[in-house]
Amino acid sequence: MAVAISVLLVASLLGSSRACHFPAIYSLGDSNSDTGSVSATFSRVRPPYGETFFGKPAGRCSDGRLIIDFIANQLKLPFLSSYLDAIESNFSHGANFAASGSTIEPADGTLIGAGFNPLSLDIQLLQFQQLKERTNELYDQAKNPDVTDRLPRPEEFSKALYMLDCGQNDLYYGLVTTTEQQVKASIPNIISQFATAIEKLYQQGARMFWIQNTGPIGCLPIIVINSPPKPGNADQTGCIKSYNELAQEFNKQLKDRVSQLRTKLHAARLTYVDIYSAKYSLISEAHKHGFVNPFINCCGHFGDYRVECGKSAVVNGTEIFGASCSDPSKHISWDGVHYTEAANNWVANRILDGSLLDPPIPITKLVSKV
């Protein structure tokens, strides 16, 4: 009976012409969603980042827009300001707490020493709480629109969409510091911390969740080129099979936990987003979709020598700059780790129609249970 009711609910929502207007988006995660946190806090993203859409660096690890930018556009909302960017930021339609290099696991000295970000998911949660509390205080203290016009409306926090996109760095950190077996053993604890973050947001009034799983880490050019798959460990696309299996295990456990949270958080609506399938489909059928070899990044160089995108290095006595390719729109990978605007646009189109969502409801048809 419960299954039948669920099917009827999904069918009803899919057939409905009613669109849900989200007044704001609040985003937490890593570089796949960072619109300026790390650029504003540690060091500015350099050219040629941002060249395709913005014409200059815009805090994003891409040549242009990220998936979150395309989602905001679909919901007719402006691009999200980074919470940590103090220059001309506007939080009236939400805020972005995502930070490049961040992890779900709290960042300790070892993680930071390995080059990962101290702005881990628990810190991002504290930042959201700070924004919400200060917003409420300012609305209580001052009715002057000059004070509040760049802030969210307090009553809209519970009506906003909360996006979480993290986990890739936790897996990558484990792979470069431990063994694959140890990474697999660590996944339940990482998922538990992920679930705790969702529950804390729920306790803060969040009700609509958009939870993205992690992509095929074994297909990232920086990994495939620097650590080519050993014999028997390459899949049909050329990705590192065992690395992708770890991502799939992470995603399986995340999906199971999201299902459990639906039972526990009765007033919430949790959408599980299969980013992995969208990205792997694009990579495995790159030529079919008009892209070049998915393991050739557009900006920078890996292989016989390495020059990072936007940086210079001396190779055989000659200084070489990590420049952009002539046509980023033909590449899936921008810098060996992150995706190009063209790839992000392709993936966004694949997930926004609802076919890779659980439940399979397009984002514009999501309706709050509140």
Q: Please give the domain boundaries of the chain with CATH numbers for all domains.
A: 22-288 (3.40.50.1110)
- Give residue 226's pLDDT: 86
> Which position among 27, 31, 62, 333 bears the catalytic label?
31
Residue 3 pLDDT grade (very low, low, confident, very high; cuts 50, 70, 90): very low
Instruction: Determine whether 301 is an active site residue.
Output: no
Digit-coded pLDDT (tens) for 37-48: 999 999 999 999
Mean pLDDT, the chain, integer: 92
> Which position among 93, 301, 331, 338 bears the catalytic label?
338
Residue 232 predicted with pLDDT over 50? yes
Of the chain, the percentage scoring pLDDT greater than 70 comes to: 92
- Give residue 12's pLDDT: 40
Burial category of 344 from C-beta neighbours within 10 Å (exposed 0-12, middle 13-18, buried 19 and up): buried
Q: Which of 32-36, 194-198, 238-242, 303-307 has the lowest mean pLDDT?
A: 303-307
Instruction: Determine whether 331 is an active site residue.
Output: no
**332: number of CA atoms within 13 Å, CB side?**
25
Residue 216 pLDDT grade (very low, low, confident, very high; cuts 50, 70, 90): very high
Digit-coded pLDDT (tens) for 299-346: 999 888 889 999 999 999 999 999 999 999 999 999 999 999 999 999
Question: Greater confidence, 246 or 9?
Answer: 246
- Give residue 369's pLDDT: 52
- In sequence order, which residues have a C-beta less than 8 Å from that of residue 154 and are 6 or more positions away? 135, 136, 139
Q: What is the mean pLDDT of residues 114-118?
A: 89
The SS3 call for residue 313 is strand
Burial category of 313 from C-beta neighbours within 10 Å (exposed 0-12, middle 13-18, buried 19 and up): middle
- Give residue 113's pLDDT: 85
Digit-coded pLDDT (tens) for 143-191: 666 677 899 999 999 999 999 999 999 999 999 999 999 999 999 999 9
**Model pTM score:** 0.92
> Which position among 69, 165, 235, 335 bears the catalytic label?
335
Instruction: Determine whether 6 is an active site residue.
Output: no
Six token digits for residue 89: 């930021």
- Give residue 367's pLDDT: 67
Residue 8 predicted with pLDDT over 50? no
